[in-house]
Amino acid sequence: MSTTVATLIGMIFGLMTGTVLAGLALMEHPRRWTVSLRLPEELHRRLSEEAADHMCSLKAEIINRLQASLPDGDQVVDAP
């Protein structure tokens, strides 16, 4: 019986620890949205070239361009 109690206590402790760690992990990272879109081939090519010129990823290039299109007071966090 003591093995069963020890196992149960271990499971409860593990669940509590996992819940706390998961909560901390969620608090540390800002929420990001995933967006899928289809780009015309020529636009994709041009954006890819611009990204290479700026030495950044295509994703960063798109995010930077979207941020630049907003009014200055509405700037958000830098592109990852």
pLDDT tens profile 5-30 = 777 777 787 777 777 666 666 666 66
Q: Are residues 26 and 63 in the same domain?
A: no
- Cβ–Cβ contacts within 10 Å for residue 40, how many? 8
**Prediction pTM value:** 0.54
Output the CA torsion 67→71→76→78 (10° steps): 40
Q: Are residues 43 and 19 in the same domain?
A: no
Domain containing 18: what range?
Answer: 1-30
CA distance 45 to 51: 10
Q: Are residues 41 and 25 in the same domain?
A: no
Our measurement of the distance from residue 45's CA atom to the centroid of its chain's CA atoms, rounded to an integer in Å, reads 25
Say if residue 78's pLDDT is above 60: no
Q: Are residues 19 and 53 in the same domain?
A: no
Q: Are residues 44 and 77 in the same domain?
A: yes
pLDDT tens profile 24-61 = 666 666 677 888 999 999 999 999 999 999 999 999 99
Grouping H, G, I as helix, E, B as strand and the rest as coil, residue 3 is helix
Number of domains in the chain: 2
Q: Are residues 70 and 42 in the same domain?
A: yes
